[in-house]
Structure 1
Amino acid sequence: MTDPQLPPPYGSVPPAPPAAPPAPPAHAPAAYGSAVPPVPLAPGYTAPEYTAPPGAYQVPVGGYAAPGGAYTVPDPAPRPSKLTGTLSLVFALVAAVVAPIVAAFASYEVGRRVPEAIVRLNSDDLSSLAVLSPARDQVLWAEISFWAGTILGIAAIVLGIIAIARKRGRGQGIGALIVAVVAPAIFFLIAGVALGAGAAAGGIGLYS
């Protein structure tokens, strides 16, 4: 036993004082996710409106307006129409494909009927008009196809140059120029081959 008035011996630990009981919480914590109920105000008391202190920075009502002269993205320039180049290419294809096909059918019929006309005519009457008289309709179609192809080829060249110069379908314009230039050679080649094939067929028919 030790005297309570004497200091504790060296090395001994004094007993800890008893802990005070915890104070009851003023308000029970709200459950997670639940709304916190508003705190009731005293009768006759209204909550003061918040006003910014003098000199404080305030946001203007309606937001900030764009400053005058600010940089804006310019509208992209409209792309030029490719109609001119497309038309030139269409005209060139008609002159290089459609016109030779029509001329080929007409030339074949002309060549097929010429040998028979030569045999039937007298040697004194072998003029070009007399020889081509049995195939005058086919000759007319061959001429129509030739002149139509010529007009369309010239139009294709003119429109192709305009399309290239004004960038209105430059690729189509270049293609139209190339096709229109070689179109006459295609026309005469196909018409000549068809005329020869028709003449051979007509000669075989006479001696068969």
Structure 2
Amino acid sequence: MTDPFVPPGLPPQGSAVPQGSPLPQGSPVPQGSAPWQVPPPGAYRVPVGGYQAAVGGYVAPTAPAPSRATGAVSLAAALIAALVTPVVAGVLALQIGLAVSVDDLVSGSGEFVIAALSPARIQTLWAEIMFWLGTALGLFGLIAGIIAVARRRGRGMGIAAIVIAALGPGIFFLAVTLMYGIGNGIAFDPLM
């Protein structure tokens, strides 16, 4: 008589252990344990210790490491945007501050008078060029940094580029404001 709850080919609980089992031959099947399945004849059995390492000269090919160029380019662009352009614009702002007073830039009603910058029009033009150059390089560094992080192509440099590019506008305006104020204080000091 067969037990309807035991699949065919498996011994009932309490009988001897089948051949190929991890238990020693001839020992009884423990009561309350789940029955194991004996693989069908000719089935492949996985080695007990797992698969061994490759034998001989064969080694599985490894994927080449992704290029870190994207991260490096984004970091270089962000550094130029956040360090070089503020320094150049700061020097130009110092020259503008030496030529143009704050009192000339603001009218009595509080409006900005752009004509007051005409004594330093070349420096003003170059300061504006530095602003737009820094903006373009900062945006490029930010976007390329995001791409480098997302595609794992120089992830650390990409993260640094994102942070530096985000800080760039603040560094630029701080440098220009301070240097203009210093130039204006030197040229138009009422105590001298």
Provide the TM-score with structure 1 as the length reference.
0.59
Please show how residues 54-133 of structure 1 align to structure 2 within 5 Å: 72-115=58-101, 118=104, 128-133=113-118
Residues 116 and 148 of structure 1: CA distance in aligned 2, closer, same or farther (over 3 Å): closer
Cα drift, residue 177 of structure 1: 0.2
Post-superposition offset of 1:72 = 2.5
Deviation at 1:116, TM superposition (A): 10
Query: What is the RMSD computed on CA atoms of the aligned residues?
Result: 2.3
- Taking structure 1 as reference, are residues 163 and 127 closer, same or farther at Cα in structure 2, changes over 3 Å only? closer
Equivalent of residue 169 in structure 2, options 150, 169, 184 = 184
Q: Which has the larger radius of gyration?
A: 1
The residue type paired with residue 87 of structure 2 is I
Inter-partner Cα distance in structure 2 for 1:116 and 1:152: 30
What's the counterpart of residue 156 of structure 1?
Answer: 141
Confirm or deny: 8 A CA contact 1:116 1:202 kept in the other structure: no
Q: Which runs of 5+ in 1 are unaligned?
A: 1-69
Q: Distance in 2 between matches of 1:139 and 1:117?
A: 17
Structure 1 contact 82–169 (Cα < 8 Å) conserved: yes
- Separation of aligned partners in 2, 1:94 and 1:86: 12
Q: Which runs of 5+ in 2 are unaligned?
A: 1-55
The answer to whether the 8 A contact 1:117-1:131 is kept is no
Partner of 1:193: 178
- TM superposition shift of 1:93: 0.3
Q: What is the aligned residue count?
A: 132
Read off the aligned partner of 2:120 and give its amino acid letter: A
**1:148 alignment partner AA:** L
CA distance in 2 between partners of 1:127 and 1:194 (Å)? 19
**Displacement after TM superposition at 1:139 (Å):** 0.4
Post-superposition offset of 1:202: 1.1
Q: What amino acid is aligned across from residue 138 of structure 2 in structure 1?
A: G
Query: C-alpha displacement at 1:207, in angstroms?
Result: 6.7
1:152, 1:116 → 2: CA distance? 30
Identical aligned residues as a percent: 44
Measured against aligned partners, the alpha-carbon deviations of 1:141-186 in whole angstroms (never above 9, x if no partner) come to 1101100000001000110111011110000000000000010000
Question: C-alpha distance in 2, partners of 1:89/1:168?
Answer: 12
Does residue 173 (structure 1) correspond to residue 158 (structure 2)? The answer is yes
CA contact (8 A) 2:102 2:184 kept: no
Q: Write out the 4+ residue segments of structure 1 that deviate beyond 6 Å after TM superposition.
A: none
- Per the normalisation by structure 2, the TM-score is 0.63
Residue from 123, 131, 149 that aligns with 1:146? 131
